[in-house]
A and B are shown apart, each in its own frame.
Chain A
Amino acid sequence: MRRVVVTGLGLVTPLGADVETSWANLIAGKSGAGTITRFDASNQACTVACEVKPADHPWGFDPGKRVDHKVQRQVDPFIVYGIDAAGQALEDAGLTEMTLEESYRAGVSIGSGIGGLPGIESESIVLHEKGPRRVSPHFVHGRLINLISGQVSIKYGLRGPNHAVVTACSTGAHSIGDAARMIAMDDADIMLAGGAESTVCPIGIAGFAQARALCTSFNDTPEKASRPYDKDRDGFVMGEGAGVVVLEEYEHAKARGAKIYAEVIGYGLSGDAYHVTAPHPDGDGAYRSMEMALKKSGLKPSDIDYINAHGTSTMADMIELGATQRLFGKDLGGASMSSTKSAIGHLLGGAGAVESIFCILALRDQIVPPTLNLDNPDEGAEGVDLVPHVAKKREVRAVLNNSFGFGGTNASLVMRKI
């Protein structure tokens, strides 16, 4: 099998509009949470979200930097974030220019969990109030999940596989794992892979709140709301943004002298076959996903130094931890495990990609990001290094990233330094 490495990174997160700002803020223990500003949420059960900040904020996002004015007007924010993160990753990898021949071997697989919910909501209101002749002609292709991949391929002339994963909150991890396989199977030499999401809109917040998935007890203290593994956690905090990596065949990357961040060595997938929103109580699906990824990597549990948990700040946190302990040992074999959702919220379809990038940066900088707000770890977390409150310098040789989604879909990735 051909080997697959990561040669470029791109991030748009509630902690920054680029990789280095997001990472520096994450390591500094900052929170991206706040009271929702995108709309008046005062009648919602949950009024907290981790929003991507506006351009005038110290770490705000300027959509005009990489996305044409016309495209910005026509598409939902998740597509804008995705195009920008993809552009960052290509620039980072030094791949913004390629020959026609090279472009046939360069593809895109950037997915989303939900897609253009804000636009579906607002155009439905237009339809209801003004009739069908007022619905935007860009309504459909401005909301479709595969239109990040479509827009990116058009903008950068990437003519290889064009794909988009939709597996709820596992999307980002599945995107990277599946795209890595496309390279391993010789369908492409280069793949832009990742996920994006932006559903901070009235119907998005109301929908997740009605599913009893969102945090509702910390509306007055938004920065405390996302608290994975803590006894007082009561639901996730919605995040938004995008994460995209450049995956490249190892010899191809070496031949052009590319900077290599990490190698993707293990990928696991499983289904819970249990419930639409709740994980299997034994963590069976999560366990098998991690086990498969580890087996494929050829590593032993003790080789993994950092685990970026799915850890959404819900009841499911302890189920994931239990499954991880079964595989790695009661103390996780000395590995550190944290949930960066404590700082950036849950990016849903973007989560697995953004968190994989955090794992890669942990490998690069030999430091693991913290779990914020972990004041009183829940029962069962004794003896586990969940990296409470502050980032921790330590040796990081290999990393595991977990993502689990509604429908009972699980994905795990193992990466190492090269």
Chain B
Amino acid sequence: MSETAERVKKIVVEHLGVEAEKVTEDASFIDDLGADSLDIVELVMAFEEEFGVEIPDDAAEKITTVKDAIAYIDSHKG
């Protein structure tokens, strides 16, 4: 698992209060991890803080799975 993936999963576990093993790369925030749309806003904010990236709203809307988040961060972090 990449370092980005590790850190993303840690944030997801902490924010959504789900068990770590449920946070697979294919997991959907809403369908599999019980998040609602506001939880995703909060997660995106946490990713921005953690990785020093900016995730604009139109990009954030496309982040629906753990994998999406990791990919976006890996391709945008400095």
A residues whose Cβ falls under 8 Å from a Cβ of B: 68-70, 73, 133-134, 136-138
Contact A68 B42 (CB under 8 A): no
Given contacts A70-B15, A70-B16, A70-B17, contact A138 B45 (CB under 8 A): no
Which B residues are CB-close (under 8 A) to A137? 38, 41-42, 45
Does B38 lie within 8 Å of A138, measured CB to CB? yes
Task: Determine the chain A residues whose CB is within 8 A of the CB of B41 once the complex forms.
Answer: 137
B residues with a Cβ closer than 8 A to A are 15-17, 34, 38-39, 41-42, 45, 49
Bound-state CA distance A69–B34 (Å) is 12
Contacts of B38 in A (CB 8 A): 137-138
Which residues in B have their C-beta under 8 angstroms from that of A136? 42, 45
Task: A18 to B45: give the CA distance in the assembly, Å.
Answer: 37
Measured CB to CB, the closest approach of chain B to A8, in angstroms, equals 28
B45 touches A70 (CB 8 A): no
Interface of A is mostly: helix
Nearest-neighbor residue (CB-CB) of A72 within chain B:
B17
Instruction: List, in ascending order, chain B residues with CB within 8 A of A133's CB.
Output: 45
Report the Cα distance A73→B42, complex, angstroms: 11
What residues of chain A lie closer than 8 Å to B39, measured between beta carbons? 70
CB contacts (< 8 Å) of B17 on chain A: these are 68-70, 73
Q: Contacts A136-B42, A137-B38 known; list 9 others, CB within 8 Å.
A: A69-B17, A70-B17, A70-B34, A70-B39, A73-B17, A133-B45, A134-B45, A136-B45, A137-B42
- Minimum CB–CB distance from A218 to chain B (whole Å) comes to 40
Residues on the A chain within 8 Å of B16, using CB: 70
CA distance A68 to B35 in the complex (A): 13
| Complex CA–CA separation, A138 to B16 (angstroms) | 13
Bound Cα distance from A70 to B45, whole angstroms: 16
Give Cα A73 to B35, complex, Å.
Answer: 13
Cβ-closest chain B residue relative to A69 = B17
The interface centre, meaning the residue of A68, A133, A137 with most chain B CB atoms within 10 A of its CB, is: A137
A269 and B42 alpha carbons, distance in the complex (Å):
43
Q: What's the minimum C-beta distance from B70 to chain A, rounded to whole angstroms?
A: 22
Task: Report the minimum CB–CB distance from B46 to chain A (whole Å).
Answer: 10
With a cutoff of 8 Å between Cβ atoms, the chain A residues found around residue B49 in the complex are 134
Provide the bound-state CA to CA distance between A136 and B49, in Å: 13
Contacts of B34 on A, CB cut-off 8 Å?
70
